[in-house]
Amino acid sequence: MLVPLTRSYFEQLIPLIATGSQYKYYWGKFSDFLQRLLISVIIAAVILLARVIFRLSLGPIVFLFGLIGALYWLWGPVLWASLRNFKSRRYKYCGFFRGRVLDWWITEEYLGKQETVNDRGDLVIVENREKRINLEVGDETGFTALLKAPLKASHKVINPGQIAEMLVMSNRPDLSTIEKISDIYIPNRNLWVSDYPYLRHDFFNEVSRRIRYDREQRSRKRRPPRERSRDIERYYNEDESESYPRERSREIERRPIYDDEDEW
C-alpha cells in the first residue's frame, strides 16, 4: 500500500533542524568527538595568534566568528544532521508505504584499516568491519526496497511476513519512481531499523494511525448489511419502555399460510 502525503506532512516527518536522535547519531564515538574538539582548538588558536603575536586588531564580528568556531565540537552534529535532512527534503513528493518483510540477511561491510602495535612492538594492520542487516520489504504490487543498517541485538525478532512501514521519496507526483527510502518501522515489534534516523518517530506513528483508521472507516462503509436470520425473528414489545429486541424461540409453531390444507 502506498499513500501520497502532502508537503506539510513531509516537512514535519523530516524536520529541517536536527532532532535529538539525529544529533546523537552525528555525535558519534569518542574518536569523533576528539576530531571536532581538535578543529575547535585550531580555530581558537588561529584567532589568538592573529591577535597576540601578529597584533592584528580584530573587530567584534571576527571575535564572534572565532567564538562560534571554538564551540564547533558542540554544534557540529547539528550542522551535519541538518544538511542531511535538507538533502532529503529536496525531493518534491513523498508517500507512506506499508508492506511486509520479504527477507533479511547479514553481511559484513569493510570500514577501513587501522594501524596498531602489538605487545612485541610489531606494527599490525587491523581491518575494521561491521556486521549489517539487509532488510528487504515489498507489497502486493511487486515493489521491493532494500535497507542496510548496523546489526543490533533487537533485530533478532524480525521475521518474514511482518508488516513494515516507511516513507518513500520521489520527484514524480504519482510516486512511480522511488528515489529514496527512510528508516523502516515494524509495528508489531515497535522496532525501528535504520542507519540514520530520518523520521520523527512520534509523528510517523500518528500518521500511521490516521491512515489505518481511515481505511477501516472506508471498509465499513463498503461492507454490505448483514442478512436477517431465517430461523429467528426479532420483534419489539408493544410496551414503549422496552427499548431492546427480544428473540422469538425457534420452537414456536409457525402457522400455515393457508387455513385450508387442501389449498397446499
DSSP the chain: -EEEE-HHHHHHHS-SS--HHHHHHHH-SHHHHHHHHHHHHHHHHHHHHHHHTS-----HHHHHHHHHHHTHHHHHHHHHHHHHHHHHHTSSEEEEEEEEEEEEEEEEEEEEEEEEE-TTS-EEEEEEEEEEEEEEEE-TTS-EEEEEEE--GGGGG--TT-EEEEEEEESSTT--S--EE--EEEGGGTEEE-SS--S-HHHHHHHHHHHHHHHHHHHHHHSPPPPPPSS--EE--SSTT--S-EEPPTTSPPPPSSSSGGG-
Any domain includes 264: no
**From CA 19, how far away is CA 200, in angstroms rounded?**
8
Q: In the numeric block, which cell numbers belong to residue 71?
A: 564551540
Any domain includes 63: yes
Any domain includes 93: yes
The pLDDT of residue 123: 79
**From CA 71, how far away is CA 65, in angstroms rounded?**
10
For helices 30-52 and 72-89, the axis angle rounded to 10 degrees is 120
Tell me the pLDDT of the chain averaged across its residues. 83
Q: Read off the pLDDT of each residue in 100-105 and give the average, rounded to a whole number.
A: 96
The pLDDT of residue 127: 79
Asked if residues 97 and 165 have their Cβ atoms less than 8 Å apart, the reply is yes
Q: Which residue has the higher pLDDT, 81 or 242?
A: 81
Q: Read off the pLDDT of each residue in 56-76 and give the average, rounded to a whole number.
A: 83
Q: Which of 16-25, 120-129, 151-160, 195-204 has the lowest mean pLDDT?
A: 120-129
- Give the pLDDT band of residue 62 (cuts 50, 70, 90): confident
The pLDDT of residue 60: 79
Which residues partner with 109 through β-bridges? Answer: 130
Q: Which of 81-95, 164-178, 229-243 has the lowest mean pLDDT?
A: 229-243
Any domain includes 114: yes
Share of the chain above pLDDT 70, in %: 82
The count of domains in the chain is 1
- Give the pLDDT band of residue 182 (cuts 50, 70, 90): very high
Q: Read off the pLDDT of each residue in 47-76 and give the average, rounded to a whole number.
A: 81
Any domain includes 56: yes
Any domain includes 169: yes
> Quick one: which of 133, 151, 136 has its CA closest to 103?
136
φ, ψ of residue 105 to 5 degrees: the values are -150, 165
Residue type for position 73: W
199-254 pLDDT tens trace:
999 999 999 999 988 888 887 777 665 554 444 444 444 444 444 444 434 443 44
Any domain includes 231: no
The pLDDT of residue 224: 61
Any domain includes 237: no
Q: Read off the pLDDT of each residue in 71-91 and give the average, rounded to a whole number.
A: 95
| Rounded alpha-carbon distances, angstroms, from residue 55 to 52, 61, 64, 191 | 5, 17, 18, 58
The pLDDT of residue 225: 56
Range of 152's domain? 2-220
Share of the chain above pLDDT 90, in %: 59
